[in-house]
Structure 1
Amino acid sequence: MPDRRDFIRTAVAAAVVPAAVAIPAAAAPAAPAFAAPAGRGTFRWFGTAGWRIDVGRRTLLVDPYLSRFDTGLFTGAFNPSTALTVKADTIATRIGSPETVLVTHTHWDHFADVPHIATTTGARVVGTLTAYHLGLAGGVPSGKLCPVKGGEVLDFGDYTVEVVASLHSRNAAYSMAFPGVRVSQPAPPQTIADLPEGDTLAYQVRIAGGPSVFFMGGSDFVERNLSGLNPDVAMVALPSSTATGDYVPRLLEALGRPKVVVPVHWDNFETELRNPPQVAPADAARLDALIAAVRKASPRSQVIRPEYETPYTF
């Protein structure tokens, strides 16, 4: 992969998509005061599948997981009984004043911080019925929880959100960690095992006068559900195995070969949120393979490997 200078220099989208600009972190304004360019939107990666999106002075989040505590997942000593931990100070300095939080699914590395964010900022949480019930369990008022199934197009004025019914990644055993749903409000979750997958969604955010951006939280999908989306930018999740057949070619074909592809969910999300992002050796090989597959399946797509909290405009 190119070094940081090459990364910034070559982060330019083709055709109808405006230039993708990487602003050095030292030059970026403090997170809570940040305002995006009019009609463009600014996107900052929080690691895993997490994003902060600023549209003017309005902020929405996707799968914001910032506490990044150790479960042993990356050291070969995974502990399903790991206690849930919320690092309030780490969260507060990064999220600004979000009005909406989009949740793709409810595994801990996507959802663990969401109840805290919603209860401390008043943000609305959009997600599955499981997210709704887990939100209630986490103290989020029902009026701030928006259960969706896929197919909804939600109009927020400066941007719209299209909800897409999707699928979670498959591991090498063709399964996943913590499958299951919550069909009623459970006891407050205490461990990561208390947060099941809970069904999976994807989202397409379309900024008024700006780009349309597709967000995945898991590396699988339903091709028919992607027909006609044709996003300008696609945030594509790294697969953890080869269980999903022809993942990249089918995905990019279904999405209409986006102008910009941004790989996500490849970093070691149990380490500090510091650049350059750390990546486990096996994931580094998979990331290289993903990027090669994107370039083969859609050679005209610009591939951007993101860095933490670096603002990008498309």
Structure 2
Amino acid sequence: MSAHQLDRRRFLRDSAAGAAALTAAGAAALTAGGLVAGPPAAAAPATAPAATRTAPSGPVTFRWWGTSGWRIDIGERTVLVDPYLSRYDTGLFRGAFDPATPLTVRSSVVDSLVDRATTVLVTHTHWDHFNDVPYIAGRTGARVFGTLTAYHLGIAYGLPAGQLSPVSGGEVLEFGDHSVEVVAALHSRNASWSMAFPGVRLGPSAKPATIADLPEGNTLAYQLRVDGGPSVFFMGASDFAARNLTGLAPDVAMVALPATGSTADYVPRLMAALEHPTVVVPVHWDNFETPLTNPPVVAPSDRKRLDELVTAVRKASPRSRVLVPEYGTAYRF
């Protein structure tokens, strides 16, 4: 870790605001149908990144969109992480899960939130992460980064190959006012040490029709570094290879809620591997089959696991601040 990074993290930790320099810049407007985005902007073309580093041209804000979804506005650029906004019923939260549930895009909901996008980062290709990505990419021209499975699924949806960038972990991607480091990660395990819809797509495939047609496809994490601003780590599932996190030391970590206790020492190992981030933000704890209205709906079992996660973070990393987010609130780290 560089001396600059150490100095910046020490400043953040020891600021007069307390354990972290974090402010909520205000909540997005809410309607019965969901959140209302800011004023429309022209779709950003999927062009090559700038060759030189430049400071952001405007404020940098982070908005949680439920599950592990985020909208990050960096001046005139907008980065999306796992933007799942359609949030339809599969029976998962009613104890009647149906793998044959048809894939659905609620375009009116997506359009009300996604007025622009430059880049989409996909952690893995389960429906609650990938469902809306082809539609968003097709409408905005955003470049999609994800696994080889995400690439082949994008082709199956009709996206041009030139708009899809397959990555596998280790890549450090330059965008001028920010960079993105791709991290090879792992998917969560259920109580039987398995997962729903495992598998990959290593070649052309038919267009998916049901949620079971979207496999996990291997899992990635991402670290976004804003020039002159914070470094922020994004997880889409609650497992990781500690060796892959060496040296990341993010200021902020978006940490996925563990579905079960099948991953040993999840929080202590993760906090140590990330070198105890200044701010820890739990994600993937809400009922993602309900509309994006605050307060988020939480299943009783997930509420218990969320409380346990917060307690575990405070024990393993007492100098970290835990922020439990609300939908659409513009956070500045």
- Whether the TM-score (by the shorter chain) exceeds 0.5 is yes
**Local SS of the residue matching 2:139:** helix
8 Å CA contact 2:37–2:114 kept in 1: the answer is: no
Letter in 2 for 1:208: D
Instruction: Identify the residue that residue 3 of structure 2 maps to in structure 1.
Output: none
Deviations 1:36-65 (A, max 9, x none): x85752000110000000001210100000
C-alpha separation between the residues in 2 aligned to 1:216 and 1:40? 23
**Local SS of the residue matching 1:290:** helix
- Pairing partner for 1:57 from 73, 76, 100: 76
CA RMSD of aligned residues (A): 1.8
C-alpha separation between the residues in 1 aligned to 2:57 and 2:285? 31
In the TM superposition, 1:79-118 aligns within 5 A as: 79-118=98-137
Instruction: Work out whether 1:19 is the aligned partner of 2:22.
Output: yes
Letter in 1 for 2:14: A
- Pairing partner for 2:168 from 137, 149, 154: 149
Instruction: Identify the residue that residue 138 of structure 2 maps to in structure 1.
Output: 119
Instruction: Identify the residue that residue 203 of structure 2 maps to in structure 1.
Output: 184
Gaps of 5+ in 1: 1-12
Instruction: Identify the residue that residue 298 of structure 2 maps to in structure 1.
Output: 279
8 Å CA contact 2:79–2:118 kept in 1: the answer is: yes
TM-score (normalised: structure 1) = 0.92
C-alpha separation between the residues in 2 aligned to 1:77 and 1:29? 31
8 Å CA contact 2:57–2:76 kept in 1: the answer is: no
- Pairing partner for 1:74 from 93, 98, 108: 93
Deviations 1:44-91 (A, max 9, x none): 011000000000121010000000010000000000000000011111
Instruction: Identify the residue that residue 158 of structure 2 maps to in structure 1.
Output: 139
Q: Give 1:134 shift.
A: 0.3
Instruction: Identify the residue that residue 38 of structure 2 maps to in structure 1.
Output: 31
In the TM superposition, 1:2-13 aligns within 5 A as: none
Q: Identify the range of structure 1 (15-24 vs 185-194) with the bigger mean alpha-carbon deviation.
A: 15-24
Letter in 1 for 2:38: A
8 Å CA contact 2:37–2:115 kept in 1: the answer is: no
8 Å CA contact 1:126–1:148 kept in 2: the answer is: yes
Where do 4+ consecutive residues of structure 1 move more than 6 Å?
A: none
- Pairing partner for 2:65 from 42, 46, 50: 46
Q: Give 1:20 shift.
A: 2.7
Identity of aligned residues (%): 66
8 Å CA contact 1:268–1:279 kept in 2: the answer is: yes
8 Å CA contact 1:40–1:210 kept in 2: the answer is: no
Task: Go from structure 1 to structure 2 and tell me whether the alpha carbon gap of 1:261 and 1:39 turns closer, same or farther (over 3 Å shift).
Answer: farther
Q: Give 1:24 shift.
A: 2.9
Gaps of 5+ in 2: 1-11, 42-55
C-alpha separation between the residues in 1 aligned to 2:28 and 2:89? 26
Q: Give 1:18 shift.
A: 3.2
C-alpha separation between the residues in 2 aligned to 1:33 and 1:42? 17
C-alpha separation between the residues in 2 aligned to 1:81 and 1:26? 34
- Pairing partner for 1:172 from 191, 195, 202: 191
Instruction: Work out whether 1:265 is the aligned partner of 2:264.
Output: no
C-alpha separation between the residues in 2 aligned to 1:31 and 1:238? 29
Task: Go from structure 1 to structure 2 and tell me whether the alpha carbon gap of 1:40 and 1:293 turns closer, same or farther (over 3 Å shift).
Answer: farther
C-alpha separation between the residues in 1 aligned to 2:244 and 2:68? 20
C-alpha separation between the residues in 1 aligned to 2:126 and 2:14? 37
8 Å CA contact 1:31–1:93 kept in 2: the answer is: no
C-alpha separation between the residues in 1 aligned to 2:121 and 2:304? 29
C-alpha separation between the residues in 2 aligned to 1:208 and 1:92? 29
Instruction: Identify the residue that residue 308 of structure 2 maps to in structure 1.
Output: 289
Q: Give 1:31 shift.
A: 2.4
Deviations 1:251-276 (A, max 9, x none): 00000000000000000000011000
Task: Go from structure 1 to structure 2 and tell me whether the alpha carbon gap of 1:20 and 1:68 turns closer, same or farther (over 3 Å shift).
Answer: same
**Local SS of the residue matching 2:118:** strand
C-alpha separation between the residues in 2 aligned to 1:225 and 1:133? 25
Q: Give 1:129 shift.
A: 0.1
**Local SS of the residue matching 2:306:** helix
**Local SS of the residue matching 1:98:** coil
Q: Give 1:30 shift.
A: 4.0
Instruction: Identify the residue that residue 313 of structure 1 maps to in structure 2.
Output: 332
